[in-house]
Amino acid sequence: MIRIVALGEVAPEIIEPLLRPGEMFISEPTEADLAEADAAIVRAAYRVDEHALDAMPQVRVLARTGVGTDLVNLDVTRERGIPVVITPGSNTNAVAEGVFAHMLSLVKYLPDLDALVRDDRWNDRTTVPAADLDGKTLGIVGYGRIGKRVEKIARAFDMNVRAYDPIAEIPAEFRAETLAELLAASDIVTLHLPLTADTAFLINADSIDEMRPGAILINCSRGGLVDLDAAVRALDSGKLGGFGVDVFDPEPPMHHELFDHHRVSLSPHLMGFTQQAMIATVQDALRGIQKVFDGDQSVALA
């Protein structure tokens, strides 16, 4: 019997229809279950370090929902010969739509307009500088699956697009050669990069200075990409015209003064975990585990 455990919340009804003969899923594993586990589906906020792996001495594969592995100690998994599977593509559209949810809220000043109606201040509506996406330049930092999907949606809004990625190929007609070039050209900047030593605090006081006055920043990627203190100062000065945030470091975050700013749109790392996306990413994680047990190591990172 192959025992597959959940590390984090995974609804059994999503997994059980896809289980094959000889496979068992345990949604709320005990210490004994972990000790006998052959595989684990790891939810986004669950940290897999040496201690967690010590509790699962028989585990032969980990499947991490989503694409980020910053909470998985890959050095230890490689040392122990444990393949790690990710689920690229399963929540691409959800994240991309989440970017535009934040973007539209900020550009259209939806919280301000909502307050006018609720507070019986209808006649103040002309004081709110609501704008359009049409004709705005969107700068996409990171041109992977999600970045490409964001670009496609932006075209439907008749936005201009610039994209920067130090690795991915980008069509010449909208490629920015440097981050600074993209920041200077963009009315709205959206981040779609992994968190690494090179990208930590990529958006800081210096890089914000390179942005257009009043530009809007969206981060639905990784919290550690942005220096929140620098972002608050930029919002207060008007250098940033708005900041949409779905991701934090750590999660859940401690209260930050950013949360009190009226030009900040917040969500609790949920843009990639809509109902459809959550089902897809968890099921893809199971399929990845099954492929590894079938001998297909090509689906694994390590």
Are 206 and 285 in a shared domain?
no
Mean pLDDT of 238-243: 98
Q: What is the pLDDT of residue 298?
A: 81
Examine residue 252 and say whether the peptide bond preceding it is cis (omega within 30 degrees of 0). yes
Are 111 and 83 in a shared domain?
no
Are 58 and 103 in a shared domain?
no
Q: What is the pLDDT of residue 273?
A: 85
Are 118 and 258 in a shared domain?
yes
Q: What is the pLDDT of residue 302?
A: 53
Q: What is the 3-state secondary structure (H, E, C) of the chain?
A: CEEEEEECCCCHHHHHHHCCCCEEEECCCCHHHHHHCCEEEECCCCCECHHHHHCCCCCCEEEECCCCCCCECHHHHHHCCCCEEECCCCCHHHHHHHHHHHHHHHHCCHHHHHHHHHCCCHHHHHHCCCCCCCCCEEEEECCCHHHHHHHHHHHHCCCEEEEECCCCCCCHHHECCCHHHHHHHCCEEEECCCCCCCCCCCECHHHHHCCCCCEEEEECCCHHHECHHHHHHHHHHCCEEEEEECCCCCCCCCCCHHHHCCCEEECCCCCCCCHHHHHHHHHHHHHHHHHHHCCCHHHECC
Residue 44 pLDDT greater than 80, yes or no: no
Are 48 and 155 in a shared domain?
no
Rounded distance, CA 173 to CA 192, Å?
20
Are 117 and 86 in a shared domain?
no
Residue 45 pLDDT greater than 80, yes or no: no
What total number of domains does the chain contain? 2
* Contact of 241 with 262, CB cutoff 8 Å: no
pLDDT band at 124 (very low <50, low <70, confident <90, very high): very high
Q: What is the pLDDT of residue 63?
A: 95
Q: What residues are labeled active site?
A: 222, 251, 269
Residue 69 pLDDT greater than 60, yes or no: yes
Percent of the chain topping pLDDT 70: 100
Are 30 and 41 in a shared domain?
yes
Are 168 and 153 in a shared domain?
yes
Are 129 and 255 in a shared domain?
yes
Structural domain including 79 reads 2-90+275-299
pLDDT digits (tens, 9 = 90+) for 165-217: 999 999 999 999 999 999 999 999 999 999 999 999 999 999 999 999 999 99
Q: What is the pLDDT of residue 68?
A: 74
Are 243 and 184 in a shared domain?
yes
pLDDT band at 66 (very low <50, low <70, confident <90, very high): confident
CATH number for the domain spanning 45: value is 3.40.50.720
pLDDT band at 42 (very low <50, low <70, confident <90, very high): very high
Mean pLDDT of all residues belonging to the chain: 95
Are 163 and 184 in a shared domain?
yes
Q: What is the pLDDT of residue 147?
A: 98
Choose from 37-46, 81-90, 125-134 the range with maximum mean pLDDT. 125-134
